[in-house]
Amino acid sequence: MFLSVCVPHENLFNSIAVDIVTQNITRSYDFLPQDRVKYYQIFDHGHVVHVIVMSKQLIVAGIELGGTGCKVGISNEKGEIEERFTIETITPDKTLTLLYNWLSEKQKQYNFKALGIASFGPIDLHQNSDTYGYITQTPKPHWQYTNVVGAFKKLNIPIAFDTDVNAPAMTETRLAGGRITTVVYITIGTGVGIGVCVNGRSIHGLLHPEGGHLKCLKFPGDNYEGNCPFHQSCVEGLINSKAIADRLQIEPSKLSTVPDDNPIWNLQAYYLAQLCAAIVCLISAEKIFIGGGLAKRTVLFTLVRKHVQQILNNYIQAPEIIDHIDEYIVPSSLGEDIGVISAFDLAQEVLKKE
Ligand SMILES: [Zn+2]
Tell me whether strands 69-75 and 81-88 are parallel, antiparallel or unpaired: antiparallel
Q: Cis peptide leading into 122, omega within 30 of 0?
A: yes
For residue 127, report the distance from its CA to the centre of ligand 1, in Å: 26
**Cα-Cα-Cα-Cα dihedral of 337, 343, 349, 354, to 10°?**
-140
Domain boundary among the residues 167, 188, 204 is at: 167
pLDDT of residue 26: 77
* Domain total in the chain: 3
Neighbours of ion ligand 1 (CB under 5 A): 213, 228, 230-231, 234, 236
Note whether 41 and 152 are same-domain residues: no
Domain boundary among the residues 104, 132, 167 is at: 167
Residue 222's nearest CA partner among 255, 189, 269 is 269
CA gap 314, 104 in Å, rounded: 54
For residue 212, report the distance from its CA to the centre of ligand 1, in Å: 7
pLDDT of residue 135: 96
For residue 239, report the distance from its CA to the centre of ligand 1, in Å: 11
Assigned domain for 40 exists: yes
Residue 298, Cβ neighbours under 10 Å: how many?
Answer: 9
pLDDT at residue 97 is higher than 50: yes
Residue 287's nearest CA partner among 197, 198, 166, 184 is 184
Tally the residues of the chain: 354
pLDDT of residue 14: 58
Give the confidence band of 294 by pLDDT, cuts at 50, 70, 90: confident
> What contacts 46, CB < 8 A, 6 or more positions away?
none
- Asked if residues 300 and 269 have their Cβ atoms less than 8 Å apart, the reply is yes
For residue 132, report the distance from its CA to the centre of ligand 1, in Å: 23
CA gap 92, 140 in Å, rounded: 11
| Average pLDDT of the residues in 46-67 | 83
CA gap 181, 196 in Å, rounded: 10
- List pLDDT tens digits, range 226-261: 999 999 999 999 999 999 999 999 999 999 999 999
CA gap 250, 349 in Å, rounded: 43
- List pLDDT tens digits, range 197-224: 999 889 988 888 999 999 999 999 999 9
- Checking phi first, is residue 102 left (phi over 0); if not, alpha (psi -120 to 50) or beta? alpha
For residue 342, report the distance from its CA to the centre of ligand 1, in Å: 26
SS3 for 130-189 is CCCCEECCCCCCCCCCEECHHHHHHHCCCEEEEECCHHHHHHHHHHCCCCCCCEEEEEEC
Note whether 181 and 299 are same-domain residues: yes
Note whether 315 and 196 are same-domain residues: yes
pLDDT of residue 226: 97
pLDDT of residue 180: 92
CATH number of the domain at 131, please: 3.30.420.40
Assigned domain for 96 exists: yes
Note whether 198 and 313 are same-domain residues: yes
Residue type for 125, please? Answer: L
For residue 274, report the distance from its CA to the centre of ligand 1, in Å: 15
Note whether 120 and 216 are same-domain residues: no
Helix (H, G, I), strand (E, B) or coil at 83: strand
CA gap 106, 89 in Å, rounded: 20
Residue 29's nearest CA partner among 11, 9, 8, 53 is 53
pLDDT of residue 6: 59
For residue 211, report the distance from its CA to the centre of ligand 1, in Å: 9
For residue 112, report the distance from its CA to the centre of ligand 1, in Å: 38
Residue 150, Cβ neighbours under 10 Å: how many?
Answer: 13
For residue 208, report the distance from its CA to the centre of ligand 1, in Å: 15
Note whether 27 and 94 are same-domain residues: no
Note whether 47 and 89 are same-domain residues: no
For residue 8, report the distance from its CA to the centre of ligand 1, in Å: 46
Could you tell me which residue, 33 or 47, shows the higher pLDDT? 47
Note whether 256 and 111 are same-domain residues: no
Helix (H, G, I), strand (E, B) or coil at 92: helix
CA gap 161, 132 in Å, rounded: 9
pLDDT of residue 169: 96
Give the confidence band of 302 by pLDDT, cuts at 50, 70, 90: very high
- List pLDDT tens digits, range 34-53: 655 566 777 777 777 777 66
User: Alpha helix locations (H) across 208-289?
Assistant: 235-239, 241-248, 264-283
Residue type for 334, please? Answer: L
Domain boundary among the residues 103, 137, 167 is at: 167
For residue 268, report the distance from its CA to the centre of ligand 1, in Å: 16
For residue 14, report the distance from its CA to the centre of ligand 1, in Å: 51
CA distances from 210 to 143, 204, 342 (A): 18, 10, 19
For residue 75, report the distance from its CA to the centre of ligand 1, in Å: 35
Least confident of 99-108, 144-153, 343-352: 343-352
- List pLDDT tens digits, range 1-29: 666 665 554 444 556 667 777 777 777 77
- List pLDDT tens digits, range 175-195: 887 789 999 999 998 899 999
> In whole numbers, what is the pLDDT of the chain averaged over residues?
90
Note whether 148 and 283 are same-domain residues: no
For residue 247, report the distance from its CA to the centre of ligand 1, in Å: 18
For residue 229, report the distance from its CA to the centre of ligand 1, in Å: 7
Note whether 182 and 157 are same-domain residues: no
| Average pLDDT of the residues in 62-79 | 93
For residue 238, report the distance from its CA to the centre of ligand 1, in Å: 9
For residue 244, report the distance from its CA to the centre of ligand 1, in Å: 15
CA gap 106, 115 in Å, rounded: 12
For residue 188, report the distance from its CA to the centre of ligand 1, in Å: 13
User: Alpha helix locations (H) across the chain?
Assistant: 92-110, 166-175, 235-239, 241-248, 264-283, 298-312, 319-322, 338-353
Assigned domain for 343 exists: no
For residue 122, report the distance from its CA to the centre of ligand 1, in Å: 12
pLDDT of residue 10: 44
For residue 224, report the distance from its CA to the centre of ligand 1, in Å: 14
Q: Which range marks the domain in which residue 255 is found?
A: 176-330
For residue 19, report the distance from its CA to the centre of ligand 1, in Å: 52
CA gap 122, 214 in Å, rounded: 15
- List pLDDT tens digits, range 340-354: 999 999 999 999 887
